Structure 1
Amino acid sequence: MVTDVRVSQNTSRSLLPYLQQANIQYTILISDLQKAIENQTGLRSYRNRRSLSGYNYEVYHSLEEIQGWMHHLNKTHSDLIHMFSVGKSYEGRPLFVLKLGKRSRPYKKAVWIDCGIHAREWIGPAFCQWFVKEALQTYQTDPAMKKMLTQLYFYIMPVFNVDGYQFSWTNDRFWRKTRSKNTRFRCHGVDANRNWKVKWCDEGASFHPCDDTYCGPFPESEPEVKAVAHFLRRHRKQIKAYLSFHAYAQMLLYPYSYKYATIPNFNCVESAAYNAVNALQSAYGIRYKYGPASSTLYVSSGSSMDWAYKNGIPYAFAFELRDTGHFGFLLPETLIKPTCTETMLAVKNITLHLLKKCH
């Protein structure tokens, strides 16, 4: 069992001797976290702010930049992209989604992709943007991509937790939750991945508003979760796969998250996961673990993946992207390209699996 902990300078002075005394092995992964944060966000001021036509997919982008990019694509690629909003966040920001695909026939099956449910996991939104870029750039040259965009629609939500993401840029790089206010406590936010109506606030979630895994006052209390759940419910017959991108652990997870049990279509989902992690590994040799979330990672109730599956979406996956803790949430920008490149192979693999067989 390995655990990553973040401790203040003062605490580390007493923690390290305690670990030594207790004979607990430890490794210092990041010795000066503040410096690491400043190195990542400090680059912004003098970075080349090129026009959107030269949008840089190998850097992290602020919410404002990502939404500007979405508007730009909506204008310049209207044949393949339609941008719309599913609602508004707690702080009143629009919840934008890109509908990607060739309008080849009125009804097509679809895949839902969301990134950034947890604010600090910046590699998620970076991947969502990368996916769209790859789709647009390779549509004419890659037969697999052409097939995907002709036969399916992709609903892509680059930043699910818009308020939290914005806050992670301006105030607290390690912010995880939404930004809703709690009347009884001074703490903000709810874990948007514990707020879904599936075994809500059971194991792996907290009732305390100050905790990182706070499940909220009731299911779908968060406007972001409510808006997406409403959209998915309305389109549940059309949507065949739900993919959610998180960090970090290098895992491909499928239901259930809230209990140790085998899903009815286990064989189909398991073989899709097995092939996807093999495809991913073929790029740089990065080996992902895969399996049911409860036994592969940990038990957690009220997750979007379980909810999607319970609501009739047969393929529901959560990716935990790079790395395994060396950089943690501060994955350097130099690793955006390899991470997205390998993940792209896995997503294409799952999508083509969907078109081939098992339903």
Structure 2
Amino acid sequence: VHLIIRIYFSFSTKPAIFMDCGIHAREWISPAFCQWFVKEALSTYGSDSQMTSLLDQMDVFVLPVFNVDGYDYTHKSNRMWRKTRSKKSGSSCIGADPNRNWNAGWCTIGASSNPCSDTFCGYSPESEIEVKNVADFIRRNKSIIKAYLTIHSYSQLLLFPYSYTYDLAEHHSELLKVAEGASAALRSLYGTRYTSGPGATTIYPAAGGSDDWAYDLGVKYSYTFELRDTGRYGFLLPESEIKPTCEETMLAVKYIAAYVQKNLY
């Protein structure tokens, strides 16, 4: 069961931003940020002019924990679990990588067809119920969703399509400009440096990702955040880094949101 939080302050159908956290179970800083975003949006509405303007003019859909069963498993059994927890009759291997399961160059590069692999692409596109439900939601609302943001860790990167091909996206120049502006906004708080660029050349080629799928669906402003750090702690980011990570990431998300708000298409 998914809980998608819709932050809105009027009942009209407005342009929207969709943001999800926790696709990969072990990336705990990701769900922490989605919760931080919701808290900040609700508590600063009316006092923060940028947030107030955003929520007056746009809806924000927030999925705090995408991979609920996997996330629960990391708390109870295996802290480093990445995949979903789906089962297939006849196989002893559990789950698929929900960020290799989208119908965007599915299982062609940077993904595995081995069900035991951490990057298993699944038995078919959208075979994972989590992916299917979110894809259905975005498809139903694609006329209003103008930006897609997915929050991961780690590496301090701000990525955009494509990851399933080395070809540049149609809107590459604009996507790069926005990413670099958002990275600069993030850096302004604590000096944390992010690298911006297409997924395939900036981190590694990987087919079946949600940002590529959303972009190909028509959501132009499609971005993947890889939050702190660059490897010292990795997925085991200490509690002391939660607040500064969320604070600086908020600046980048607000930068992208403000740009989208001014450049609706």
TM-score normalised to structure 1 length = 0.73
Tell whether 2:214 aligns with 1:214: no
Following TM superposition, by how much is the alpha carbon of 1:271 offset from its aligned partner in structure 2, in angstroms? 1.2
Bigger Rg over Cα: 1
Which residue is 1:100 aligned to?
Answer: 7
Kept in 1: contact 2:113–2:120 (CA 8 A):
yes
Give 5+ residue unaligned stretches, structure 1.
Answer: 1-93
Which residue is 1:112 aligned to?
Answer: 18
Following TM superposition, by how much is the alpha carbon of 1:269 offset from its aligned partner in structure 2, in angstroms? 1.2
Aligned mates of 1:169, 1:318 — CA distance in 2? 24
Which residue is 2:233 aligned to?
Answer: 327
Q: How does 1:1-359 map to 2 (within 5 A)?
A: 94-103=1-10, 106-357=12-263, 359=265
Aligned mates of 2:31, 2:13 — CA distance in 1? 28
Kept in 2: contact 1:125–1:158 (CA 8 A):
yes
Which residue is 1:57 aligned to?
Answer: none
The number of equivalent residue pairs is 265
Aligned mates of 1:208, 1:184 — CA distance in 2? 14
| Identity in percent | 52
Q: Which amino acid aligns with 2:108?
A: D
Question: Secondary structure of the equivalent of 1:336?
Answer: helix
Following TM superposition, by how much is the alpha carbon of 1:185 offset from its aligned partner in structure 2, in angstroms? 2.4
Following TM superposition, by how much is the alpha carbon of 1:183 offset from its aligned partner in structure 2, in angstroms? 2.3
Question: Secondary structure of the equivalent of 1:244?
Answer: strand
Specify which structure has the bigger relative contact order, considering alpha-carbon pairs within 8 angstroms and separated by 6 or more residues. Answer: 2
Kept in 1: contact 2:5–2:61 (CA 8 A):
yes
Give 5+ residue unaligned stretches, structure 2.
Answer: none
Q: Which amino acid aligns with 2:8?
A: G
Following TM superposition, by how much is the alpha carbon of 1:357 offset from its aligned partner in structure 2, in angstroms? 2.6
> Root-mean-square deviation (CA), in Å?
0.9
Following TM superposition, by how much is the alpha carbon of 1:266 offset from its aligned partner in structure 2, in angstroms? 1.8
Q: Structure 1, residues 213-272: CA drift from partner, whole Å, max 9, x if none? A: 000111100111000000000111100000000000000000001011111112221111
Kept in 2: contact 1:241–1:315 (CA 8 A):
yes
